Structure formats: C-alpha cells, structure tokens
Amino acid sequence: MRLRAPCTPTPRAWTVELRSHTSGLLLACRQCRHDNNSTVAATSARSAALTHLARHAHQDTLPPHLRTCQCHERGCRWHRPHRGCAGTIRLLLACERGGRVWRLADTCTACAAATAHAAVVPDTALLTPRPALAGPRRRRQPSEPDARIRVREMLSYLAAALPDGTSPATRLIALQCALRISTSLRVSLPRGLLRSLRLGADPRPWQELEQARWLRRTPERADDEVAAVLLDAVVLGQAPARRDRRHAADWALRASSPSRVGALGPLPQLMSVYLTAHSRPETGQGLIEADRTAYECGIQPAELPPVLEQLAAAGLLNAWRITADTEDLRWILQLL
Ligand SMILES: [Zn+2]
Ligand SMILES: [Zn+2]
Ligand SMILES: [Zn+2]
C-alpha cells in the first residue's frame, strides 16, 4: 500500500495592500492572482480590504488543532521581540503603513499582544468546538466576565475596523450593532435604547457608519427602531452565540453609565465602557497603556486627561494617573 504524503495545511495568513491609482486605490492581495486586483474609492477602501480578507479566512478554514501561529512561522517579524509563542490561536487583524497594508492571520496570544495596531477578531465561535449534543440541552447563562471580555475585544476590533477619527457616538452605536446582530446579519436598535445613550435623534453616527461601508440602514419595520444590515464580513464570521452577544450589549449599555455621565457627551460614555471593561470587577482597578486606550477610544493621547478628569468629577473614577516613565494609565473605578 502506498502512503499518501500528508497535505500541507493552508497557511492562514492573508495580506492586502492598498496602492494609489488614478481611479482610487488599487486593492492588491498577496494571495490572489494579479487579475483579481481591483480599484476602490478611498472612502470604502478599508471595508473592501477587510471584506476581501474575511473571504479568505472563511474559505481556508482549518480545524482548531491544525491552526498554528502564522507570525511564528514567519520568524515573528511583525512585532517587537518577546519570549515566544503562547496561548490560544486566534485571528488577528493588523494594519501597517498607516492603513495601506492589512493583514489577517492566525496568531497566538503572546504574538497578538506584542503586535502594534492590531486587534484580535472577537470571538470564538470558529475556535471553540461546540459541546456534543448528548442528553437534554441545558440553557447556559452568559456570565459577566464573558461580557467584559467580549466588550473589550469588540472595542479593540472596532478601533481597527472603523476609520481613524470615527466619533465616540458612532463607536457607541457600532458596539451595540456588532453585539446585537442576528445570524442573518441584521440589527435593529430600539429608539428607547438610543435615547438612553442620549443618541436618539442624531442621524450622524449612522451616516458615518454608512460612509465607512460598515453597515447600511434598511427600512424600519416599526417607528420605534433603527434597522440596518452589517457589511463587516470579518466580525460576522466570528460571531459567538447570539445570547452571549446580547448579554454583552446590555452590559455595555449599563457600563456606559448614561445616568451619570450621559449629559457630558458620548466620549465620557465610551471611556466609561472602556475603563469598566478593562477593570478588575472586585476592586475596580485597571492598568493599560495610555496610547492604546486613546487609540481604542478613537482619540489622541492628549485628549485623555481632560476626559478622565470629567469622569472623576462625575464620581465614576476614584483616582487615575498616567505614569511618566511607562506611560501606563492606572485607574480605580468607583464601585457601586
Ligand atoms: Zn486575496
Ligand atoms: Zn510572533
Ligand atoms: Zn506566536
């Protein structure tokens, strides 16, 4: 009997480059043939690049045990040195050269954490094997730690997927949409929910998301909701159980503290969700690089101190400081 040579698994790393072209930007994929290259308008280039990468990730699936750290396979050239690969393999979306190069690759936790301008693609659905359907199905209660992690990852992912300069109001709405999408990629946000975020009557965040080609509004089925279909193919392919996501969306709504900081505007609300999601639930303490906090909330590092002061004045933060040498942001939330 002749043994067949083992087939090499498809390397799960794809890179798209956006090059200047007379009629917009040329989307060049390093894995596709040249004749697949196409030109796109500058405003939709990011979304076109992500859609293209997502298509590769969906086509070249591998069982979890065959997925390896593609960063390691290429000599860990994508990040500063660290002690070696460790942790779960997940999809990492990374951006280089100021948004001209986008890469989606299976990456271990250690390499992901060391990579600049990168976000782990939220969730788990493609990685966690479903429990066997033996015996009666029990309804699992989504837990609060899960909600925190999901919100944290989604904020990080949205920082990569939405254009720089996307407003805090738009990020709050994008977070709710991404966590509440149905399996048919649709979402409808009740106007009551938008009012509680104090974003009820403002069409601008929706327009901003449409311009970024991140979603498209659809005719409402009822007067008291805004309906849309999400166009972000990366997030869709990775969505975890809907019940878990909705739980995380409700948690994010509460963590935005509309009753305490809503009157101050969307940025303090977004910061409130961000800091709560990155705090230890028992102590309210948190620590993260100041630069990363600013980037993931869509602001400049210099804009951090005034908004943190606002949160302290509103009684949401007990204390905060940015350490001069490491530029780490440390804070303590006022626990309710
Ligand atoms: Zn391609
Ligand atoms: Zn690496
Ligand atoms: Zn690695």
Expressed in angstroms and rounded, the spacing between residue 128 Cα and the centre of ligand 1 is: 26
Residue type, 277: A
Whether 35 shows a pLDDT value over 60: the answer reads: no
Expressed in angstroms and rounded, the spacing between residue 2 Cα and the centre of ligand 1 is: 35
The pLDDT-based confidence of 123 (bands split at 50, 70, 90) is low
The pLDDT-based confidence of 26 (bands split at 50, 70, 90) is confident
Residues with CB under 5 A from ligand 2 (ion): 71, 76, 111
Residue with tokens 């939220």: 122
Residues with CB under 5 A from ligand 3 (ion): 69, 71-72, 85, 108, 111
CB 271 within 8 A of CB 308: yes
Expressed in angstroms and rounded, the spacing between residue 209 Cα and the centre of ligand 2 is: 33
The pLDDT-based confidence of 303 (bands split at 50, 70, 90) is very high
Q: How many CA atoms lie within 13 A of 321 on its CB side?
A: 4
Expressed in angstroms and rounded, the spacing between residue 80 Cα and the centre of ligand 3 is: 12
What pairing do the DSSP bridges indicate for beta strands 328-333 and 24-29?
Answer: unpaired
Expressed in angstroms and rounded, the spacing between residue 82 Cα and the centre of ligand 2 is: 8
d(CA 215, CA 31): 27
Expressed in angstroms and rounded, the spacing between residue 73 Cα and the centre of ligand 2 is: 8
Expressed in angstroms and rounded, the spacing between residue 96 Cα and the centre of ligand 1 is: 17
Whether 12 shows a pLDDT value over 80: the answer reads: yes
d(CA 231, CA 218): 12
Expressed in angstroms and rounded, the spacing between residue 54 Cα and the centre of ligand 1 is: 9
The reported pLDDT for the residue numbered 112 is 93
The pLDDT-based confidence of 277 (bands split at 50, 70, 90) is very high
pLDDT in tens, 319-330: 999 998 888 999
CB 102 within 8 A of CB 53: yes
- Looking at domain 258-336, its CATH architecture is Orthogonal Bundle (1.10)
The pLDDT-based confidence of 128 (bands split at 50, 70, 90) is very low
Mean pLDDT of the chain: 84
**What is the arithmetic mean of pLDDT over 149-177?**
91
- Ligand nearest to the Cα of 32, by number: 1
Whether 125 shows a pLDDT value over 50: the answer reads: no
The CATH classification number of 143-245 equals: 1.10.10
Expressed in angstroms and rounded, the spacing between residue 109 Cα and the centre of ligand 3 is: 7
Expressed in angstroms and rounded, the spacing between residue 155 Cα and the centre of ligand 2 is: 23
The pLDDT-based confidence of 160 (bands split at 50, 70, 90) is confident
Whether 281 shows a pLDDT value over 80: the answer reads: yes
- The residue extents of the domains of the chain are 13-121, 143-245, 258-336
- Ligand nearest to the Cα of 108, by number: 3
pLDDT in tens, 227-274: 999 888 777 655 567 778 889 999 999 998 878 887 889 999 999 999
**Three-class SS of the chain:** CCCCCCCCCCCCEEEEEEEEECCEEEEEECCCCHHHCEEECHHHHHHHHHHHHHHHHHHCCCCHHHCCCHHHHCCCCCCCCCCCCCCCEEEEEEEEHHHCEEEEEEEEHHHHHHCCCEEECCCCCCCCCCCCCCCCCCCCCCCHHHHHHHHHHHHHHHHHHCCCCCCHHHHHHHHHHHHHCCCCCEEEEEHHHHHHCCCCCCCHHHHHHHHCCCEEEECCCCCCEEEEEECCHHHHHCCCCHHHHHHHHHHHHHHCCHHHHHHHCHHHHHHHHHHHHCECCCCCEEEEEHHHHHHHCCCCHHHHHHHHHHHHHCCCEEEEEECCCCCEEEEEECCC
If we measure between CA atoms, which residue out of 72, 56, 64, 73 comes closest to residue 14? 56
**What is the arithmetic mean of pLDDT over 278-301?**
93
**What is the arithmetic mean of pLDDT over 294-313?**
94
- Ligand nearest to the Cα of 114, by number: 2
The pLDDT-based confidence of 302 (bands split at 50, 70, 90) is very high
pLDDT top residue among 197 and 4: 197
Lowest mean pLDDT among 198-202, 240-244, 311-315: 240-244
CB 249 within 8 A of CB 180: yes
Residues with CB under 5 A from ligand 1 (ion): 29, 31-32
The reported pLDDT for the residue numbered 122 is 74
If we measure between CA atoms, which residue out of 102, 219, 229 comes closest to residue 161? 102
The reported pLDDT for the residue numbered 127 is 35
Expressed in angstroms and rounded, the spacing between residue 86 Cα and the centre of ligand 3 is: 6
Angle between helices 144-161 and 168-180 in degrees, nearest 10: 120
**What is the arithmetic mean of pLDDT over 123-133?**
39
- Ligand nearest to the Cα of 57, by number: 1
Phi, psi of 307 (to 5 degrees): -75, -35
Expressed in angstroms and rounded, the spacing between residue 122 Cα and the centre of ligand 3 is: 18
Residue with tokens 């409402």: 220
